Amino acid sequence: MKYRLEYTARARKDLQKLDRNTAQRIIRALHGLTEDPYPQVKKLKGTPSGHPVYTFRIGLRYRAILSVHDLVLIIHVPGIEDRKQAYRDF
């Protein structure tokens, strides 16, 4: 079963700030998670065990913050940031 990606308004805005090639590379990488996201993501420390938040590394520079909802097969993407800024808001 494939997961469906859902981007928040903030994630869409984050993608729009990037140049076109970088944004397309990030979108392709995120779509690669739809089969099975867990081998490629890392759980953020300090998040609740009932609803953990994950990070996904995209190249050397970017990180996507994700939450995975297994019951409805949705990967929720609240933000995409440069790795230096990605963890400050979450």
Residuewise pLDDT in 10s, the chain (90 residues): 899 999 999 999 999 999 999 999 999 999 999 999 999 999 988 888 788 899 999 999 999 999 999 999 999 999 999 988 877 765
How far, in Å, are 9, 17, 57 from residue 48 at the CA level? 24, 30, 21
Q: Which pLDDT value is given to residue 90?
A: 58
* Residue 64 in tokens: 């996507």
Q: Which pLDDT value is given to residue 62?
A: 95
State how beta strands 74-82 and 4-7 pair: parallel
Q: Which pLDDT value is given to residue 49?
A: 78
State how beta strands 62-69 and 54-58 pair: antiparallel
Q: Which pLDDT value is given to residue 32?
A: 95
For 4-82, CATH number? 3.30.2310.20
Q: Which pLDDT value is given to residue 16?
A: 96
36: which residues sit within 8 A by CB, 6+ positions away? Answer: none
Domain ranges of the chain: 4-82
The answer to whether the Cα torsion of 7, 90, 32, 75 is positive or negative is negative
